[in-house]
Amino acid sequence: MDFNLGIFNGYPANNFGDNNDAKDLLFRADFKPPVDQATIRAGGYAWIGSAAPPTYVSNPDEKTLEMNRFGGFANVDYKASENLTLRFRGEFLMASTEYAPIHIDTVSSVDGQAFFAHVGIQPHPQVEFLARYDFHDPNTDMSYEEAVSEMGSGGGVSQYEICCDDDEEAWITAGVNYYLEGINAMFYLNFIHKMEPGYMNKWDQEAGKWVKEEREIDNDLVQAQVQITF
């Protein structure tokens, strides 16, 4: 079991200066339970971050803007036989970010989430067949209908926020990896099915209002890559 704690100046990155009084905190815990024929590593982490409001906000609700991240992960390699290995990789991330809209002299917030799950079968140490699911939703706060209602009632929701709601995306990947020298030299061949669930909210110039448009796009791809690391 490993525990990690970090204290940072925060924004801006790679800079010894600091534009706010708060410090960023990182907490992480990793668990490695002993299991026969398997290597397991799981854990969770939290990043408690902050940044100064933009200069155009004259009277923000808070002295700093919160930028927090929380997540968990799990990695499993199970040796089913001398040559056969079963592999799982997964991670989940939640984000909560405060921001200062230009049109409102206050502080708002947006929540997002993402996760992936990867399952691989290695019948030989050099070959892996895999399936993977990726999901990302940068704004989980409200539906299109809720956003329109909030804006109409003066709830502080902008047309920009309505435009950018329902913006989640998911990818399903199936493929094969060939390892020449572990991950240091390898080939990828993957088919990726990209899904854009829900609707995109576009401004209809003739109607003079926001309208919903299906977001599904014909953008699947076959991807071949070579990776060489030193």
| Number of domains comprising the chain | 1
Residue 3: inside a domain, yes or no?
Answer: no
Residue 120 in domain = yes
148 in a domain, yes or no? yes
On whether residue 186 sits in a domain, the answer given is yes
Higher local confidence (pLDDT), 108 or 54 = 108
In a domain, 5, yes or no: no
* Domain boundaries, position 82: 31-228
Nearest of 43, 47, 93 to residue 68 by alpha carbon: 47
Under DSSP, is residue 140 helix (H, G, I), strand (E, B) or coil?
A: coil
Measured CA to CA, the distance from residue 108 to residue 99 in angstroms comes to 5
Q: Does 175 map to a domain? A: yes
Instruction: Find out whether 58 and 43 touch, Cβ atoms under 8 Å.
Output: no
Q: What is the pLDDT of residues 120-164, one digit of tens each?
A: 999 998 999 999 999 998 888 655 555 555 555 544 445 544 444
What pLDDT does residue 79 have? 93
Residue 85 burial (C-beta neighbours within 10 Å; 0-12, 13-18, 19+): buried
- The answer to whether residue 96 sits within a structural domain is yes
Give how far Cα 50 sits from Cα of 4, 23, 39, 117, Å. 20, 7, 36, 30
Residue-wise pLDDT tens digits, 67-102: 899 999 999 999 999 889 999 999 999 999 887 766
pTM: 0.75
Do 139 and 96 contact (CB within 8 A), yes or no?
no
Buried b (16+ CB within 10 A) or exposed e, 171-187: bebebebebeeeeeebe
In a domain, 84, yes or no: yes
Q: How far apart are CA 101 and CA 203, in angstroms?
A: 20
